[in-house]
Amino acid sequence: MLAKVMSCAVVGLEGALVQVEVDHSRGLPSLTLVGLPDAAVKESMDRVRTAIKNAGAEFPRHRLTINLAPADLRKEGPAYDLPIAIGALIASEQIYADVSDAMFVGELSLDSSVRHTNGILSMAATAREQGLKTIYVPVQDAPEAALMPGLTVIPVPDLGSLIRHLNGVERIPPFEHVLDAGQLSQPLYATDLAVIKGQEHCKRALEVAAAGGHCVLLSGPPGAGKTLLARAVPSIMPSLSIEEALEITKVYSVSGLLPADTPLVTQRPFRAPHHTISHAGLVGGGQWPRPGEVSLAHRGVLFLDELPEFGPRVLEVLRQPLEDKVVTISRAQGTLTFPANFMLIAAMNPCPCGYYGDPTHECTCSLATVSRYQRRISGPLLDRIDIHLDVPRVEYDKLTDDRLGEPSAAVRARVEKARAIQRERFGVDGEGTRIPQRGPRIITNADMGPNEVREHCRLDDSGRALLRAAVQQLGMSARAFHRILKLARTIADLDGAEDIKTHHLAEALQYRPRRS
């Protein structure tokens, strides 16, 4: 008898439907598995055989042929254990249910229990897109699968329970879950702007960056507070929309980093890789590419401390994702694209000893050493950073002042108002979903392209005169020119102004480096 059971593969971040065909025919006992399986899938047959026996069923005694279609799609991981077992039991007439509109995903233990599988959210999305009505997943993955509306999610504790469920002996109740915006309330953060002494101009710049999704470079002596400022940035960013939360959750689910008790990521990511990271670890890669740190920081913050200590090749791979907001990885087998729309916060010392330009500590580095150190960061990469900040040493009087600064909650309220203006401008509703027929998917001012800059960043005569003088004096590139306009647009949004005024443009210009 021939049985067909639907399952799913994950390619990049997207699911691909896989049909598990199991044929049970008379002949000497044998087992054939085809369909481009990897080693983990080939090993699944020993797990499936033992799990079926421990579930109280009988493994088919005659010839068993299993095909994973389409045959040209590589199948990897243990997620096919459950559909193979169900297909074998249907083919051997131990299960009589119609499973043509269902998807099965899960790894089997030897005792027949069903274990966690990565990428459940992508698989559930594929099941819904393909018109399937039911998805059978491990119990611990049911909350994640239920994030996708329109599907009946059946949490499977073990293979024996699933056999009884499909034969109508003992039904497994579906998992009920309702996704609403209440789950995305602003979480508590370890670092609040209120506890950071001084650095008021830096706090203002970080507010502008959070409001428009702009990148920031912090430069200053050791102990000035660069890392503390960077770690406070998530506390002033707006709450996640449901669509943003699902995007982040999909990345973490595929990467295997989604905690078992956290079906939905509700906090913006903050990733801070060490400077010894490889370029594949940063942007993703491997023989079968997986998301890197830039994708794990999607819709959040990527913090690179001690920026010049990163390898030149590692830093240069950031240039494309900073422009395109995605990472494209090509291999002989195909090309994969991962999302990478993050805020880059980088920190560095001005020289190897850290005290170049410091009024209280003498720098021990020669000018040639300082120049070589600063040249570790290429001009094209610096050109892609919107805000360049000098972080000075905090004076003693400010350090000992008992008064707290403005809390992050107050700053976040202004940021959220500015983001609301941008959502309206770019045709994005309150849940983060693009309103149909309103152009490409743009959420913040930093996402704007040349056409959007031309439409939304118009200047009056005095503003054009100021910008002309700045371009001539600073020698700005065309990219820097557009980034200045986008930054000024964000400052105007924070001010609640419909048009960009001269003082908005002046503030944006002060955030550009003198060596632009």
Section 321-335 average pLDDT: 86
Section 4-29 average pLDDT: 92
Number of Cβ atoms within 10 Å of the Cβ of 278: 14
Chain mean position to CA 329: 16
- In terms of Cβ atoms closer than 10 Å to its own Cβ (0-12, 13-18, 19+), residue 335 is exposed
The residues near 149 (Cβ < 8 Å, ≥ 6 apart) are: 128, 179
List pLDDT tens digits, range 46-60.
Answer: 999 999 999 999 999
Is-cis flag, bond preceding 380, omega within 30?
no
Predicted local distance difference test score (pLDDT) of residue 429: 60
Half-sphere exposure of residue 367: CA atoms within 13 angstroms, side-chain side = 0
- 106 is written with which tokens? 């899960």
Predicted local distance difference test score (pLDDT) of residue 431: 55
Identity at 283, one-letter amino acid code: V
Backbone torsions φ then ψ of 63, nearest 5 degrees: -70, 130
> According to DSSP H, which parts of 103-171 are helical?
120-129, 142-145, 159-166
Section 127-152 average pLDDT: 94
Task: Work out the pLDDT band at 187, boundaries 50, 70, 90.
Answer: low
Backbone torsions φ then ψ of 497, nearest 5 degrees: -90, 140
Higher pLDDT, 330 or 315: 315
d(CA 311, CA 381): 13
Report whether pLDDT(440) > 80. Answer: no
List pLDDT tens digits, range 468-488.
Answer: 999 988 888 899 999 999 999
d(CA 387, CA 345): 10
Q: What percent of the chain has pLDDT over 90?
A: 72
| SS3 per residue for 493-515 | HHCCCCCCCHHHHHHHHHCCCCC
Predicted local distance difference test score (pLDDT) of residue 178: 65
Task: Work out the pLDDT band at 266, boundaries 50, 70, 90.
Answer: confident
Section 249-253 average pLDDT: 94
For the chain, which domains are there? 2-166 (3.30.230.10), 184-436 (3.40.50.300), 448-516 (1.10.8)
DSSP E strand boundaries for 12-151: 14-25, 30-34, 63-69, 102-104, 107-108, 114-115, 134-138
